[in-house]
Structure 1
């Protein structure tokens, strides 16, 4: 871990709990638009833990990596560091298990309900594959909090994501000189249009069947297709596209993938 590399001292459970708790305090403020001073937070942590600023920063980056695995937002100024240990995974687990409202508010921020318009999506890039898979303890944490299932059941995220994707598709086609096709985009109407959320077109006029997957987490957050989406991806592989919307409560970015995971063309 970062602290061990710096001064030979490992973190004990109480110290990790302090840093994890402080991380979530800052994250809550960041997600709700309230100001906070990271330097003040670090000074306080240095005082109560007697750790260096570098050691604390390392640990905060490792917390970001763990939260990204379970599909939660992270602090932008602490990019993920994937060399975390099992004891830190346990500290994150303890915090979220004892405070279920924290998990709910990060996965479905109340501020999203107050939006009067859908987020404007910016182009994002698919995540790079992790150099090494998560360890067994991290895998159990992912299974415990199951971000794919959580987002799949979050109807608020679904509504917001579909509205944002609809506006994005209309703009995309209009900017490509096809306002006629942009005007023809519509919401899918089950059971007639099973397996997708939007009926759209490529710029050449070919049909495009879009399944929208939305998360407040980062681009690497796993998502899951429904049985109807799986069937449509098999029956119409050339038309089926997933729009992966991530960080929807803040920057709201999107990338496109085919049902089999291949990057999709615009």
Structure 2
């Protein structure tokens, strides 16, 4: 994944976005995103009016830049504003601005990756069927690659133990319901947590509708479907030993829509290096 030409670094009239202006728009975007993730009301029109006043830019130019911010945040596995779909023609100047803003706001970064509203829920989220991202992205620039390495989403999500526990609990219920919906209540009651996961190499022990064994690894993120994940050594060993039974349940956007797609055998292109 990556970007093409730095179109978003210039407004329609050719006026270049400077560092201070980009920092203002990125900072405002993160304020709105934090409110969206915590269920607090905000008025996007008011935010845009303020940005138009302080930057002397058109609403279209600001909206364009906000879409590019969504793309950069997608690269680092963070949620984005739903009304600003990613635009992949961002430039390195915007990458620098996102780096500065996230580095200056470690609390915001943590809350976006592990939203307090999610951690405070009494029950695990109910999962809906989703799909992997199919968006075509141009190769990343070296600067964008350094940003991804700095805020490595695969490592961040792997180390988020509470997020992982929420994901496993949600996947367990989802598997039980899947089998019940297919008329296999007898198998649904046998779905269990692996004991312990480090030994069995998976998080859940389940079955296909025909009764074939499934060894499920659950990978959870608050980011989108394109967020990379990483297999632990025990999971890699299980994948090699039982490829026909090995399945990854990729849970994404778990703080909002809570969706899941499956990767059978965990094909290499779905897993980060």
**Is 1:179–2:179 an aligned residue pair?**
no
Matched with 2:208 is 202
1:109 to 105, 115, 118: 115
Contact kept, 8 Å, 2:245 with 2:265, in 1: the verdict is no
2:67 to 58, 61, 80: 61
Query: Cα 1:146–1:25, aligned 2, differ >3 Å: closer, same or farther?
Result: same
Matched with 1:96 is 102
Matched with 2:239 is 233
Specify every segment of 5 or more residues in structure 2 that has no aligned partner in the other structure, as ranges: 1-6
Q: CA RMSD in A?
A: 1.4
Query: Cα 1:191–1:128, aligned 2, differ >3 Å: closer, same or farther?
Result: closer
How far the C-alpha of 1:110 sits from its partner, in A, is 1.0
Matched with 2:93 is 87
| Distance in structure 1 (CA, Å) of the matches to 2:71 and 2:59 | 19
| Distance in structure 2 (CA, Å) of the matches to 1:152 and 1:130 | 26
How far the C-alpha of 1:262 sits from its partner, in A, is 8.0
- Greater displacement, 69-78 / 132-141: 132-141
| Distance in structure 1 (CA, Å) of the matches to 2:265 and 2:173 | 22
For residues 11-30 of structure 1, the aligned pairs below 5 Å read 11-30=17-36
Contact kept, 8 Å, 2:197 with 2:203, in 1: the verdict is no
How far the C-alpha of 1:3 sits from its partner, in A, is 6.2
In the comparison of the two structures, how many residue pairs are matched? Answer: 263
How far the C-alpha of 1:259 sits from its partner, in A, is 3.2
Specify every segment of 5 or more residues in structure 1 that has no aligned partner in the other structure, as ranges: none
Matched with 2:221 is 215
| Distance in structure 2 (CA, Å) of the matches to 1:152 and 1:32 | 22
Contact kept, 8 Å, 1:62 with 1:81, in 2: the verdict is yes
TM-score w.r.t. length of structure 1: 0.96
| Structure 1 SS opposite 2:144 | helix
TM-score w.r.t. length of structure 2: 0.93
Query: Cα 1:121–1:83, aligned 2, differ >3 Å: closer, same or farther?
Result: same
**Is 1:158–2:164 an aligned residue pair?**
yes
Contact kept, 8 Å, 2:9 with 2:90, in 1: the verdict is no
How far the C-alpha of 1:2 sits from its partner, in A, is 3.5
Matched with 1:149 is 155
Query: Cα 1:129–1:2, aligned 2, differ >3 Å: closer, same or farther?
Result: closer
How far the C-alpha of 1:75 sits from its partner, in A, is 0.3
Contact kept, 8 Å, 1:196 with 1:209, in 2: the verdict is yes
How far the C-alpha of 1:130 sits from its partner, in A, is 3.0
Matched with 2:249 is 243
